[in-house]
Amino acid sequence: MSDAEQYHENENPPRWHFQDGLEISVPETAERHRAGEDGFILIDIREQEELDICSIDGALHIPMGDLPARINEIDADEDTTVALICHTGRRSLKATLFMHQQGLAGTRSVAGGIDWWSLRIDPGVARY
């Protein structure tokens, strides 16, 4: 197990193979988002029906299917961390790979998604 995997072992869902350079943990995401950190953007890529169930205050909403058409709305440069969150982290990982291809190498998928956010950060966020 690499150092990055050991560091993230307790921050991510059980049996989650954390991919350093592609993912960001839920605790780190929450900390940076709540601090309003410059150079950090949280984007919820879930569909509106999912957003209607639960959401994270202050997150930008761009559904995954709209990312190609709306990528110019994201105010990011090479030093910006763009954290993408979905339900479990699978869709956001695919979207992260797309964003990297578009030149936004600071994009990270939130490992475990909003489901893990609910379990780890805020139980007031509904699970579905």
* CATH number of the domain enclosing 96: 3.40.250.10
Catalytic residue chosen out of the listed positions 42, 86, 111, 114: 86
Query: pLDDT digits over 31-75, tens only?
Result: 999 999 999 999 999 999 999 999 999 999 999 999 999 999 999
Tell me, yes or no, whether 126 lies in a domain.
no
Give the residue-averaged pLDDT of 68-97. Answer: 95
Tell me, yes or no, whether 127 lies in a domain.
no
Q: Which pairs count as long-range contacts for 12-17, CB under 8 Å and 24+ apart, including other chains?
A: 12/111, 12/112, 12/116, 13/89, 13/111, 13/112, 13/116, 16/89, 16/111, 16/112
Tell me, yes or no, whether 128 lies in a domain.
no
Its domain, for residue 77, covers: 3-120
Count the domains in the chain.
Answer: 1
Q: What SS3 class is residue 41? A: strand
pTM: 0.90
- 54 catalytic per annotation: no
Among the residues of 1-128, which ranges form H helices? 3-8, 26-34, 48-53, 67-70, 90-101, 113-120
